[in-house]
Structure 1
Amino acid sequence: MKKIAVLGAGSWGTALANVLAENGNDVRLWSHKMEQVNEINEKHTNEHYLKAAHLATNLVAYADMATAVHEVEIVLSVVPTKAVRDVAKQLNDALANENKVILVHATKGLEPKTYKRVSEMLAEEVAQINYSALAVLSGPSHAEDVIKHDLTLVTIASKDVTAAKIVQQAFSNKNFRVYTNDDIIGTEMGGALKNIIAIGAGALVSLGYGDNAKAALMTRGLAEISRLGLAFGANPLTFIGLSGVGDLIVTGTSKNSRNWRAGYQLGQGKTLAEVEKDMGMVIEGVSTTKAAKELAQERHVDMPITNAIYQVLYEHKDIKNAIENLMERESTSEID
């Protein structure tokens, strides 16, 4: 049994905390919303994020971070990208005078403006004296399926093999299987960039395109993800694994994906502002599209699909015109 703190009680944070609690670990789920903390502790539900789901009775929620992380061995951060730094600063203060923890995150995005990966943000905000290893959990996994005990396979990536195995053991059960990996860069890039392609996939379905179009989008989208990841030093094999093609498939084909649903609504003619208001939760792919476009320009990486989605999101380009322009691009080799 491990003592584990999970920071962020959204759908994904709650689902992961529930897996850990059902495995018999001592799990503390932190939320900044007292009303949500009370609901989890008293009703064992989190209705706003996971409707009709019943949480493990040994999962305890806290509004005070210092109490949540007291004497824990692992801290798992599962907050939206835009909140990572603020929460990490709070965590750094809360970990003062505590034992070193294994610091893990399960957030899929790039920081607005700086375009840094989440592990980079954590390393900047949490003093190295407070953690023994840094890791990232990623892969094809919807919270809505995990909470129902659907078979799920994910990756835990860390340069510290021992730490990765400790996290692997804490999570693994007959429904939730975890593999280890040492490629943090590729794992994070795959998890973040697939959200862009998922927006495009939702739009295609909304516009009435079929399986051929969806397969084409995801295949060529994976090529773009790989190219940009390689430019930052990722292992190419990561992108044909769980945190690459696996995550892309699940996010690009499921209505459970916020990014897919956002693309679907854009295809119906809604504005981005209308989509974001209707969603009520963070759509990571929107800000990641801007980040990826500018990183690609900086590294001279060709990402035509990303550029097209950027034009739709930020320049109000008609989606059908964006698709036509992609199809009419100059013919090239598939492996260029």
Structure 2
Amino acid sequence: MEFRNLAVLGSGSWGTALAQAFSEKFENVFIWGRNPEEIDSINKKRENPRYLPDIPLKKNIQGSGDINFVIERGDIIIVAVPTQSIRDLLKKIDYPVDKPVISASKGIEIQSLKLISDVIQETLKIDKNLIFVLSGPSFAKEVALGLPTAVTLAGEINLGEKIQSKMNTSSFRLYLNEDIKGVQIGGAVKNVIAIATGASDGLGLGNNARAGIITRGLFEMTKVAKLFGGKPQTLYGLSGMGDLVLTATGELSRNRKFGFLLGKGLPVEKALKEVGQVVEGVKTVKAIKRIVDEKGVDLPISDVVYRVVYEGLSPSEAVSILMNRQPKREEF
């Protein structure tokens, strides 16, 4: 299997950053986007001014609004669009897909409570061994700038080794992992925990509180991973702890910023508007709420995030609820 060209679905910050990062390893990178102005800017100005302003894009990156044009030309396909729109987007593909598909999106489909890998397999009807997941601590801007980044590539190990060999660059390092479910849960649930840490920082609760939320949030992530058949130890790697620390503390984090604005007293809609991009944790926490209700699992941090975002609970009241829970043993 020869990998000469790359297809990227999604011309937002993450899709564009991945196209930029991998452009040195492929002859051509074809990137699909739904916004004609963005695609025109990528092709003519070599820039994505809305999402990654002032970062010149490589000359072998070509944008298109025709998804089948992009799919047909890529030997590897990366999916980097908002999670809740993936199913509808993939249904538009007429070209038969029999090549590796890598999900770089993070979240759980709300309606079905399915992971993205399952949505891809159902929609494209491809061999599950062709489906991979890319996840880990990776802000789009830093990836696009070529700053050192290490992430996890999860999926079938033999084909995974070939993809890893092809896509490793001098600044973007891939580590292989076969636990595709655990890797996806890490990438999804960490966004919910990042909203909580952002709110804590917005309230001015200090470093101790932030560390406590991150640590107990990691425990919640492992509990969800087990429900989906993932391995808890996966959550201690790049796609779990690594991504959680970055998203919960980094200034470029949309989820943390959203939570921070809530902590400062902004209403949900105003906070979302100020962030200006998709805040995946807002959608993911809906799925987590359904999991809590259906499975009866105890996820206290995720629960109060849901109540703050959707039920009008104030961040300060959320803190009180968490701090006054029944004392218990520390579990791992």
Q: TM-score, normalised by structure 2?
A: 0.96
In the alignment, structure 1 residue 334 sits paired with structure 2 residue 330: yes
- Identical aligned residues as a percent: 38
Pick the aligned partner of 2:25 from 5, 8, 23: 23
1:2–1:170 CA contact under 8 A, matched in 2 = no
1:126-166 deviation line (CA, Å, top 9, x unaligned): 1227x8611110000000111121110001101x2122123
**Secondary structure, aligned partner of 2:313:** coil
In the alignment, structure 1 residue 203 sits paired with structure 2 residue 199: yes
Equivalence for 1:173 = 169
Equivalence for 2:75 = 73
The structural deviation recorded for 1:65 is 1.6
Structure-to-structure mapping, 1:273-284, within 5 angstroms? 273-284=269-280
In the alignment, structure 1 residue 137 sits paired with structure 2 residue 134: yes
After TM superposition, the structure 1 stretch with the greater mean CA deviation from structure 2, 204-213 or 245-254, is 204-213
Residue identity in the other structure for 2:163: V
1:289–1:309 CA contact under 8 A, matched in 2 = yes
Gaps of 5+ in 1: none
Equivalence for 1:216 = 212
In the alignment, structure 1 residue 185 sits paired with structure 2 residue 184: no
In the alignment, structure 1 residue 126 sits paired with structure 2 residue 124: yes
Equivalence for 1:105 = 103
The structural deviation recorded for 1:293 is 2.0
The structural deviation recorded for 1:71 is 4.0
Two-structure CA RMSD over aligned residues (Å): 1.5
In the alignment, structure 1 residue 313 sits paired with structure 2 residue 309: yes
1:101–1:132 CA contact under 8 A, matched in 2 = no
**Cα distance in structure 1, aligned partners of 2:304 and 2:72:** 47
**Cα distance in structure 1, aligned partners of 2:323 and 2:129:** 49
2:7–2:73 CA contact under 8 A, matched in 1 = no
**Cα distance in structure 1, aligned partners of 2:163 and 2:19:** 13
After TM superposition, the structure 1 stretch with the greater mean CA deviation from structure 2, 281-290 or 214-223, is 281-290
Equivalence for 2:265 = 269
1:12-59 deviation line (CA, Å, top 9, x unaligned): 000001111123442111112221111001111001001211111111
**Secondary structure, aligned partner of 2:92:** helix
Equivalence for 1:147 = 144
Assess, with a 3 A threshold, how the Cα gap between structure 1 residues 221 and 140 changes in structure 2: closer, same or farther.
same
2:193–2:248 CA contact under 8 A, matched in 1 = yes
**Cα distance in structure 2, aligned partners of 1:105 and 1:2:** 19
**Secondary structure, aligned partner of 1:101:** coil
Residue identity in the other structure for 1:153: A
In the alignment, structure 1 residue 255 sits paired with structure 2 residue 257: no
Gaps of 5+ in 2: none
State the number of aligned residues: 330
Structure-to-structure mapping, 1:26-45, within 5 angstroms? 26-45=28-47
Equivalence for 1:117 = 115
**Cα distance in structure 2, aligned partners of 1:319 and 1:132:** 43
The structural deviation recorded for 1:272 is 1.0
**Cα distance in structure 2, aligned partners of 1:47 and 1:219:** 37
After TM superposition, the structure 1 stretch with the greater mean CA deviation from structure 2, 162-171 or 192-201, is 162-171
After TM superposition, the structure 1 stretch with the greater mean CA deviation from structure 2, 73-82 or 278-287, is 278-287
Q: TM-score, normalised by structure 1?
A: 0.94
**Cα distance in structure 1, aligned partners of 2:26 and 2:230:** 35
**Cα distance in structure 2, aligned partners of 1:288 and 1:34:** 28
**Cα distance in structure 2, aligned partners of 1:132 and 1:229:** 20
**Secondary structure, aligned partner of 2:91:** helix
Residue identity in the other structure for 2:61: L
1:20–1:170 CA contact under 8 A, matched in 2 = no
Residue identity in the other structure for 2:175: Y
**Cα distance in structure 2, aligned partners of 1:258 and 1:209:** 20
